Structure 1
């Protein structure tokens, strides 16, 4: 999700700076929601069940250029078989692998958006310095999603993430929430609903567990209405950057510099994480701590997080 979200500034800059251009975007059906309602895309294409069908559709459109922001085997085959002039994102795969394997700093801390923007420089397109784009799909109402006690001045805490090593333990989240001076809304999917129930039970009425109760679009709406957002290395936290809200970005087994996905163009951000010889242990997260101690999350100081949040109440 994060990789797709960070393509939105490229699409916006292309559309706004190449006034006569028609911009199409192709992605997997699972990521369609990221570009739904996006005014800078003239047509949204979805990958077909077979590569041959996808290539046939691309050929039929008669494109002048292909901008490849993925650079994998599929996109390589698409470029070869269509023969369309293309520009390709440089992944720095070997540097990333060496950095991860030997804990070296071989990858410059350049944001993914800026690396994506390099692919359209040949067209005279430049970065406009604006945040990512995300467009909420429906006219949601706070009254239908939250109790009265949580409808203003609340903190959104995104407790979900795909992998274990990206999430704080429940007891750590509980300890942080106890020191927050505002109502807290927990956000995440069904996979962390039980975690949310445990956290809410430990604290009481100041916590509302919305995990598994709201759709993704409703969760994004709640993020857009929050006073402050706390979240891990996960898609919803990255989407929050579109709304120019204060964000606490919490990192455990992964690090933002390696992937270039530190909060983008967000002016009020606190990045929480600690230096350890074993960190990062992976690029995208693991199902358990390889060393068993999980210090990267358990030992993150709580005071700076709660101070950041309470100072923005």
Structure 2
């Protein structure tokens, strides 16, 4: 049996497909499993031992379809459910099963605060697409297969190499990130060294935070590679992060996690930490929240209470 799994983006969503990949490969004898994603997200799955062949999306789409047609798949598992994945399924013309996004229900929850979305994790929603094959949830965490030769003594200065807190301050959209002054206040409450992680997009934020807090902070934002950041997360004492890919990757290592939520809510998207033993979800119940599925460039009402009103003392107590 040969199966193609489709998920084009993004980091967190692809991470949450890894239990599906693992369960298919472990539970279906002699299955050959292929995966289709965008090239800029290939690093998430290119070391995954459960994937036999990785395809990267090409432009134009017909080139990708031509490559896939040669494989003669028995089934396609579409975990993205977009126009592009629908075209792939149509052109290949084989049996398929598709993840249901519940777009209308999510729109009602955001626009009118009528929440009809059941609080089912995205992993479990994905797994429904392979139930017809007899594949069942193994109830294990997500996977991230880190490869590379890393050394904490080279990545971190003395004093940060044991029991540090990895604080992931990056996130794609502004309303997913805690304001600098709140991050500074939280870091001052912690009795551990703090390593700031994120990309170049938050490098300026990290400089402000590090300068304000002082020697307790080591700023690694925008200065190390992604897998080096993953390695620091893997070896952290505990992790603090927003709704972003690196925070979801931390779940693969069963790290105690503080998951901080602003304009988005985990229940709506089903992306709360999955099979992690110790979790504290920080968020504020507000009539305007959620205001988005993916985050916004600014608070539409101007007050940004979903971040400013978070109780930092509860986070510090958890840490």
2:195 matched residue in structure 1: 185
1:201 matched residue in structure 2: 211
2:130 matched residue in structure 1: 120
Matched, 1:138 2:165: no
Verify the 8 A CA contact 1:249 1:269 in the aligned structure 2.
Answer: yes
List runs of 5+ in structure 1 lacking aligned partners: none
**Correspondent of 2:104 among 71, 84, 94:** 94
Q: CA offset at residue 203 of structure 1?
A: 1.3
1:20-63 residue CA offsets vs partner (Å, 9 max, x unmatched): 10111110001100102111001111111111111111110111
1:262-306 residue CA offsets vs partner (Å, 9 max, x unmatched): 111111000000000010110000000000000000010011100
2:47 matched residue in structure 1: 37
Cα distance in 1 for residues equivalent to 2:140 and 2:149: 24
**Correspondent of 1:291 among 286, 294, 301:** 301
List runs of 5+ in structure 2 lacking aligned partners: 1-10
TM (norm. structure 2) is 0.96
Verify the 8 A CA contact 1:249 1:272 in the aligned structure 2.
Answer: yes
SS in 2 for 1:253: coil
SS in 2 for 1:94: helix
1:47 matched residue in structure 2: 57
Q: How many residues align?
A: 309
2:8 matched residue in structure 1: none
Q: Cα RMSD between the aligned structures?
A: 0.7
Cα distance in 1 for residues equivalent to 2:206 and 2:159: 18
Q: CA offset at residue 214 of structure 1?
A: 1.1
**Correspondent of 1:57 among 67, 74, 77:** 67
Name whichever of 130-139 and 270-279 sits farther off.
Answer: 130-139
Extract structure 1 runs of 4+ deviating beyond 2 A.
none
2:139 matched residue in structure 1: 129
Q: CA offset at residue 137 of structure 1?
A: 2.3
1:227 matched residue in structure 2: 237
Q: CA offset at residue 225 of structure 1?
A: 0.2
TM (norm. structure 1) is 0.98
